[in-house]
Chain A
Amino acid sequence: MKRVLLASAAAMAIAAASSAAQAAGEIVITYKDDVSTLDPAIGYDWQNWSMIKSLFDGLMDYKPGTTELIPDLAESYEISPDGTTFTFKLRPGVKFANGREVTAEDVKYSIERVVNPETQSPGAGFFGSIAGYDEMSGGEADSLSGITVVDPMTVEFKLSRPDATFLHVMAINFGHVVPREEVEKWGADFGKHPVGSGAYNLTEWTLGQRLVFEKNQDYWREGVPNLDKITFEVGQEPTVALLRLKNGEVDIPGDGIPPAQFLEVKDDPEYKDRIVEGGQLHTGYITMNVNTKPFDDVRVRQAVNMAINKDRVVRIINGRAVPANQPLPPTMPGYVDDYEGYAYDPDAAKALLADAGLADGFETEMYVMNTDPNPRIAQAIQQDLAAIGIKVDIKSLAQANVIDAGGNGTAPMIWSGGMAWIADFPDPSNFYGPILGCDGAVQGGWNWSWYCNEELDAMAQKADAMTDPAMAAERETLWGEIFLKVMEDAPWAPVFNEQRFTIRSARMGGDDALYVDPVHIPVHYDAVTVTDAQ
């Protein structure tokens, strides 16, 4: 018995020692959900998005903490005057973790792998502008006719239409470059045995417990990464992760601050300076189905816009958002700063309803995803609308059911929270086509207000044809105009833009923006630093 006691005491001592401060240059990050895969063709989750960016490289990337594009695996690129040919010159001497040099052949292989229907990649659609996409995704061709390997260090993309977002597409995870021999070696298990050319290499993966990233000593970028090692511990509840952060065992809880503890932590003098707040490329909105009565009348949709007290909705979620007045979030290029939108004015809203012949109001339904805080937000909106005579019946359902009701057009109103929309890349066009354009207003689409304005579609097409980087400012202005025109027709009532809050340990350093990076979500692992490292 004594021996047993001694053994357990020893075990406890070991555990106590291991919970002490991390070694210099090493950090611990936690996530609630397991990492499903680290295959850039497949991964599309909160927790693996930035991990994949640290293990792999694409032709393009963004300046850390910003939405500014920079060349990554590409050393330089050229865009033809008509905007349909993109030629990338690769950086020589960049090596995969297995020691082989990255070539243009790898770029072609990686993108074709994503488009190949057998890969079942959720990102295939992003490459839709490359010539030959339809043939390959339809299974009629086994390569993309639009990609040409000019020489081992040069790759050329021919597009079927001018696409100003193409450089963003080349920066998205799905376009990251993988070595063919490793993919073929591991087959479907490549996602558990990733080999890339990124700033870190995966050195350990204990399923369901932890992943260890170690610095890639041969990484081409001087002085990157700053850290020697990152340990990701998965399966950790955010509440527990926060306790461990306070205990000095964790440097960043990857899922952020749990809503229940948010105010407590934010008001705590010890922690309030360690919280970094940042914008997200997200908007929460109410869609109104323009094909159903009475939302086919623009005055009714405008009245709804005026009736919602957005400040109160933001208060309901503890101020973790800012009120929105247009579809684009403020961090997105093209956002119109001086637009005032529809101010909160229930009397004016009532007058508009009366104009539309609905002085006595009407009854309708609003679909909402059934996880907190969405039903509470929906109730606040319900009260606001009741004040102008609109009686809303809330349909609180599982996510998949709400998405179905939106995609098949049966939902008169939907609160988008928990489902839509976070942009995949920082370009305004990603906020139009699928959710406000005619292309999205189809069965199974994401344009749940079924708003289709041919004139705006033409303007959008024109904007996306401005591939010359010199026209970037003009293009942004045009996009701003498009979204203000959308607001005139008011198919949506934008409600708020979610803010992101990351809490970090005292030893973590580097620019605040790295902890709420708009692209390397949630945290830019390549660029963050620890202050106690040599």
Chain B
Amino acid sequence: MAAYLLRRLIQAALILLGVTFITFVLLYILPADPARQIAGRSATVETVENIRQQLGLDQPLYIQYGRYLEGLLHLDLGRSYLQKTEVATLIAARLPATLLLMVGAIVCELAIGLSMGLFAAMRRGGRIDQSLMVVSFVAVSAPQFVVGILLLYVFAVYLGWFPIGGYGTFSHLVLPSITLGILGAGWYSRMMRSSMIDVLRQDYIRTARAKGLGPTTVMAVHAMPNAILPIVAMIGIDIGYFMSGIVVVESVFGWPGIGQLAWQAIQRVDIPIIMGVTLVSACAIVIGNLVADLIAPLIDPRIKLR
């Protein structure tokens, strides 16, 4: 186990190194010139050149990248070109909001997805099953910005149940969490349905029924726990999906997370922020996957970590 963990951690470090390298090269070959963005339109060519030198942007790629890695070793993500603030400060200020939104989304996708899958499996082949599967199909295919705006119109503007965007209380969290979680809910309902159908066919369920247990007990005690476990193991992998979703969801709902930060930085070619957010997202995905892999054998002893 320890050896496995060590190997995985080394792999994780290499993946992150790769991510920084690819992002750095992509930003390097970008035609937009950050020095010109900083200098403003009244600047002369000399001023722009001067800023380029100060930021080290006149250096060849490998030196710039080396400097960035050196900073990373000291946990220094650099300073924003335009805000002049430390990137670590900016990310730290926004990370809690993003994490909260992810937790909300996980709760939503499990609650909605698992219950839909459960009902569908129990009424397999019936109308409920069919209509639930159509709903899940829609949930998987709907673009997040459409879902977000729709929920906002109906539940915040029209019905007035929730605030119109923003951050702070529990009720602010509900609509963005549903928007971010609905895609996962669609997947999970399908997985839960087939997993449940699978379990219900097993011999031990027949045994449970045969010994005279009621249908509710069979479902709740014997079938559900076994059907849910393999699905729970997938949550770690969802973090990757969430990372791409937060950019949209945070913009629609005015949620002050790192997705908004990244989007605004991209528009302004604020490279240190783009690098920082990419790195933090990559870390989250790597950790999510690692946790998912570590949990798997706990759930299913047939899986061995090697």
Which A residues are closer than 8 A to B by beta carbons?
Answer: 7-8, 11-12, 14-16, 19, 30, 33-34, 36-37, 39, 42, 44, 117-118, 120-126, 137-139, 188-189, 191-192, 206-209, 233-237, 239-240, 243-244, 246-247, 249, 398-401, 403-404, 420, 424, 434, 442-444, 446
Contacts and interface: CB of A to CB of B under 8 A. Distances in A.
B172 A398 contact: no
Given A34-B261, A117-B50, A122-B42, A235 B254 contact: yes
Nearest to B267: A33
List the 8 closest A-B pairs by CB distance, nearest first: A122-B40, A125-B42, A400-B32, A208-B256, A207-B93, A11-B170, A236-B254, A188-B84
Interface in B65-120: 79-80, 82-85, 89-90, 93-94, 97
B165 A236 contact: yes
Contact of A33 (B38, B46, B257, B264): B264
Contact of B84 (A39, A139, A208, A233): A39
Contact of A188 (B85, B90, B152, B164): B85
Contacts of A420: 41
A400 B41 CA distance: 12
A420 B251 CA distance: 27
A85 B119 CA distance: 84
B17 interface: no
B45 A191 contact: no
B97 A208 contact: yes
Contacts of A137: 46-47
B260 interface: yes
Nearest to A400: B32
A409 to B, nearest CB: 14
A116 B90 CA distance: 26
B171 A15 contact: yes
B47 to A, nearest CB: 6
Contacts of B51: 117, 120
Given A7-B170, A235-B250, A404-B31, A125 B47 contact: yes
B43 A208 contact: no
Contact of B85 (A120, A189, A244, A444): A189
A233 B264 contact: no
A121 B106 CA distance: 44
B166 interface: yes
A410 to B, nearest CB: 13
Contacts of B48: 444
A303 B252 CA distance: 45
Contact of A434 (B42, B46, B171): B42
Given A36-B83, A37-B83, A400-B31, A442 B45 contact: yes
Given A34-B261, A191-B83, A125 B171 contact: no
A237 B251 contact: yes
Contacts of B38: 120, 122
Given A126-B42, A401-B31, A243 B256 contact: no
B157 interface: yes
B288 interface: no
Contacts of A446: 41
B145 to A, nearest CB: 10
19 contacts: A8-B170, A30-B254, A36-B268, A42-B82, A44-B40, A122-B40, A125-B47, A138-B46, A206-B256, A207-B94, A208-B97, A208-B256, A208-B257, A209-B256, A235-B254, A240-B252, A240-B253, A434-B42, A443-B45
A359 B228 CA distance: 76
Interface size class of B (residues with CB under 8 A): 35 or more
B36 interface: yes
B58 interface: no
Nearest to A11: B170
A118 B82 contact: no
B230 interface: no
Given A208-B261, A398-B32, A249 B40 contact: no
Contacts of B171: 8, 11-12, 15
A436 to B, nearest CB: 14
Contacts of B84: 37, 39, 42, 188-189, 191
Nearest to A249: B164
B85 A15 contact: no
Contacts of B43: 122, 124-125
A208 B250 CA distance: 11
B37 to A, nearest CB: 8
A418 B283 CA distance: 36
A235 B47 contact: no
Contacts of A42: 82, 84
A337 B157 CA distance: 46
Which of B51, B84, B161, B261 is the most central at the interface, judged by chain A CB atoms within 10 Å of its CB? B84
Nearest to A33: B264
Contacts of B31: 398, 400-401, 404
A235 B83 contact: no
A191 B170 contact: no
A243 B89 CA distance: 32
B255 interface: yes
A403 B42 CA distance: 13
A185 B178 CA distance: 45
B156 to A, nearest CB: 8
Nearest to A190: B84
B168 to A, nearest CB: 8
Contact of A191 (B46, B85, B167, B252): B85
A237 B40 contact: no
Contacts of A239: 149
Contact of B90 (A138, A207, A235, A398): A207
Interface string B258-272: 001100100111000
B242 to A, nearest CB: 18
Which of B45, B48, B166, B169 is the most central at the interface, judged by chain A CB atoms within 10 Å of its CB? B166
Contacts of B256: 206-209, 234-235
B169 A11 contact: yes
A42 B37 CA distance: 12
Which of A34, A123, A420 is the most central at the interface, judged by chain B CB atoms within 10 Å of its CB? A34
A188 B78 CA distance: 12
Contacts of A39: 84
A15 B47 contact: no
Given A125-B44, A209-B256, A240 B152 contact: yes
Contacts of A240: 152, 164-165, 252-254
Interface string B143-171: 00000010011001100111111111111
B54 A118 contact: yes
